[in-house]
Structure 1
């Protein structure tokens, strides 16, 4: 395999990983079935690549590895588009605790003061029954 092809495949993999982890998540949620199918096909391509590489077919193995990596990166990126679930019982009650919280730590990162404020918040907050 030529050096230029190795370089192109390496850059493609690095670019895909960077996009999967650093790019903004998709604007809408993608069905779990689609993400799961991408992941399963990607894992299957890894198995095909392992078989091809052990049988001596380097080019087929490398291409299967590249396809598998792209599919797994795509599944990971699409998985980042999950939005938090909605309140399906339509009671409109929401949830969560009160709006009081510990004050943020000062800019000089006084961790003792932060811990003290957090413990005071944990002790004094409004607790809701389960």
Structure 2
């Protein structure tokens, strides 16, 4: 096989891997059946490539490897559409959820009224026997 063909296939594979793992995820979810079908066809192409290469058919084996690799990369990229979104406020505060929880209290919180309310609650609540 010519060196130019080898280099172009290597470039195609590296580009596909970089896009699959570093590109932004798709804007919408893709059905699991579609991605599973792509993975199944990709794995079947790997088997076909192995058979073709052991039989001595270099061109068919290389083409099957290229198709298999592209399908696996595409399925991986499409699977990233299921990833949970990031925080909407871009605060980078970590934590769970998608940033849709309650807002934190203001910084000028009235701690005296909070303590009075808490003491009233502690005094007036119904106590349950253990």
**Which structure 2 residue ranges, 5 or more long, are not aligned?**
85-100, 105-130
Match in the other structure for 1:105 = none
Match in the other structure for 1:119 = none
Match in the other structure for 1:17 = 17
1:40 to 2:6 alignment: no
Q: CA deviation at 1:98?
A: 8.8
Deviations 1:64-119 (A, max 9, x none): 000000000000000000055xxxxxxxxxxxx9988xxxxxxxxxxxxxxxxxxx
Please provide the CA RMSD for this pair. 1.7
Match in the other structure for 1:122 = none
Count of paired positions: 88
Larger Rg: 2
Structure-1-length-normalised TM-score: 0.64
1:7 to 2:7 alignment: yes
2:27, 2:36 → 1: CA distance?
A: 19
Structure-2-length-normalised TM-score: 0.64
